[in-house]
Amino acid sequence: MRAFEPIIVAFACEYCAYTAADMAGSLGMSYPPNVKIIRVPCTGKVDTLHLMRALQKGADGVLVAGCYLGDCHYKNGNLRAQQRVGYVSRLLDEIGIGGERVMMTFMSAGQGNVFAQVANEFTEKIRNLGPNPVKLGAGKAAA
């Protein structure tokens, strides 16, 4: 059986994590191709609904990557994102598919290495956790 390759959606703030991901690429640092990056103007723009829909539509894990607390271009967007990630994490536990499938992380624009490291670690964590149970169930429900 082929090893499970998780689909990771990463909402990346354009002021930090998105640039960091870009830098990781240009510095030749590898991070898993499973990580699909969605560029956002600020993680504060990432709503609870976006996180939920990503998982509902089949993501195995969702990463929200913003600036360090205190460094948000819009003052506290990253703090709000962090609170929403916490809310979604509790909701995923309530659903029973694992609160750890969603994670908030912080970095600066120059930290390509941090982006690559977080992307690798999170992908590994989700790989160990296994596929989003929703996908397996969808197969059964259709059968």
Partner 1 sequence: MITAVRKPLEEIMGFAAPYSRVLLLGCNECVTVCYAGGRKEVGILASALSMAFLKEGKKLDIVEQTLERQCDPEYVEEIAQTIDQYDAVFSMACGCGVQTVAGRYKDKPVFPMVNTMFMGASERQGVWAERCAGCGDCVLGRTGGVCPVARCSKRIFNGPCGGSTKGKCEIDPGVDCAWQLIWDRLKALGRTDLYSEIIPAKDWRSAKDGGPRRIVREDLLS
Total residues interacting with partner 1, rule: CB under 8 A? 21
Q: Which amino acid does the sequence have at 36?
A: K
d(CA 63, CA 67) in angstroms, rounded, equals 13
Among 1, 2, 26, 94, binds partner 1 (CB under 8 A): 94
Q: Are 129 and 101 in contact (CB under 8 A)?
A: yes
Binding residues for partner 1 restricted to 30-69, rule: CB under 8 A: 47-49, 52-53, 55-56
Question: Would you say how long the chain is, in residues?
Answer: 143
Tokens standing for 133?
A: 């149970």
Q: Does 75 interact with partner 1 (rule: CB under 8 A)?
A: no
Radius of gyration for the chain, computed over Cα atoms and rounded to the nearest angstrom: 15
The piece of 13-21, 28-36, 65-73, 94-102 that touches partner 1 (CB under 8 A) is 94-102
List residues near partner 1 by CB under 8 A: 47-49, 52-53, 55-56, 91, 94-97, 133-138, 140-142
